[in-house]
Chains A and B, each alone.
Chain A
Amino acid sequence: MEIDPNTWEQMEAYLDGRLTKEDREGLEKAMAAEPQLQKALEDLQALKAGIELTGQKQTRAQIAQWEAQAVRTPEKNHAMPYLRWAAAVLVLIAGGYFLYLSLAGTETPQKQSLAESMFTPYPNLRAERGLSGGTMMDSILDLYEAGDYGAAAKGFTTSSRPASESADMWDFYKAESLIASGEFVKGADILSAFADRGHALFETARFHRALALVMAGEKEEAEDLLTLIAMEKGPFREKANAVLEDLALSEEQGQIGL
């Protein structure tokens, strides 16, 4: 039985659930009266499913090809030979330039990584909320608020926490001061104690710890933590993704010596 294009289209819409109730009932009535029409619908269903499975097989075959390429060509060798030569020349030129600058006594501005530019020390909530009461911690936090993170870190490190101060607040601002003054590993270690998900500072501490690890060069640990943050629906998800991309980009540039 020859099925005309419109009937095929109607049967496709029927299988996809796109027909109105009226059209669906009309087609079902026609199929009940004409077994060959019913057979055509069954064939169409089988053909569609078969085509889909064939498409999936093609996709798998394509993926297997990419995998074979990846295994044959380890990432480090992706750069073309001439690119590696070009990179070597660039490294020599850059080396000469930096040597010249150091001999000339000129300071070179360092390119900030995304992690560095994303790290902003947590605001001094006590001052913001008007809770500052002239205690020792408040004096240290004054330095912190003034942007003298090195002095604040020294204050937190050399002083004993008064019993009246919350240990969490003390440790958290100590960690933030340390990171802001370049003591990344020490700061990250302190923040690792904020592992309780119920803690108000859990998300911030976890993300700041990841940034500190990036800045400390602990790339693998940082990537694990950032991946975890990126997989959860927390407030730092997008930022963690961006840092991950930045790390991947830096690695690619490093591989071709840029």
Chain B
Amino acid sequence: MEISIHYLLKRDQEIRGLKIGDEKVLSQTYHANRSLFIAWFRKHTRADDSLIAEWYQEAFFIMYENIRTDKLVNLDSSIAAYLIGVGKNLERDHRKNGWSKNVYTVEDDATILEGSETETIDPETAEQVGNALNALGGKCRDILIMFYYKHYSMEVIADRAGLKNDHVAKKTKYECLKKLREIYLRNGN
């Protein structure tokens, strides 16, 4: 029997939704795959549910990051199977590290993803930029995150930020970056 077109389309839509950061798709995908992931690791490991839930969150984060940075373009398995695959690597790492919880902290983020394109900066600088972004606030912060983190096009940014068009979005992004740099420099950098 051939795989149904409906099934393939549904999965393609899911990947596209994850790529453009559609929150509804992301949330649905998170909830839809959680129980299978937890059941699989309950059966195959001795880990308790809270640890398995931590692996799931981490696996989902890694999947999202890989889709966001175009490292994962074509998913030719189910999302659940992919997540379990990532989870198995996390489980192996945790086992090596003595099953400790919270192995990963935000400061380690730049080193979690193998081959991550994230520029490695020291935690202090990252915190300063984070503080500057918070001080910048509102729409500007969202625009910069949409452009530099989510890699949205100017058209999408204009749409999401309620700006007239992509030219206005581009100009606004420049102004926001300029402001961010001013705050960052004002804080002694």
Contacts and interface: CB of A to CB of B under 8 A. Distances in A.
A227 B80 contact: yes
Given A51-B129, A59-B61, A248-B36, A239 B181 contact: no
B85 A49 contact: no
A45 B126 CA distance: 11
Interface stretch (A61-69, A150-158, A195-203): A61-69
B166 interface: no
A248 B32 contact: yes
B77 interface: yes
Contact of A54 (B27, B60, B129): B129
B3 A239 contact: yes
Interface residues of B, number: 59
Contacts of A62: 23, 26
B169 interface: no
A56 B119 contact: no
A220 interface: yes
Interface string A36-59: 000010011111111111111111
A241 interface: yes
B43 A231 contact: no
Interface in A1-41: 3, 5, 8, 40
Interface in B1-39: 1, 3-4, 7, 23, 26-27, 30-32, 34-36, 39
A53 B84 contact: no
B158 interface: no
A40 B76 CA distance: 43
Contacts of B184: 43, 46-47
Given A43-B181, A48-B148, A53-B126, A231 B7 contact: no
A44 B39 CA distance: 45
Given A43-B184, A50-B133, A244 B80 contact: yes
Contact of B81 (A51, A54, A58, A231): A231
A218 interface: no
Nearest to B120: A49
A43 B7 CA distance: 47
Contacts of B66: none
Given A45-B119, A50-B121, A8 B129 contact: no
Contacts of B120: 49
List the 7 closest A-B pairs by CB distance, nearest first. A50-B129, A55-B149, A49-B119, A230-B81, A241-B78, A51-B148, A49-B121
A118 interface: yes
- Among A45, A52, A75, A227, which residue has the most Cβ atoms of chain B within 10 A? A52
A248 B129 CA distance: 43
B181 A47 contact: yes
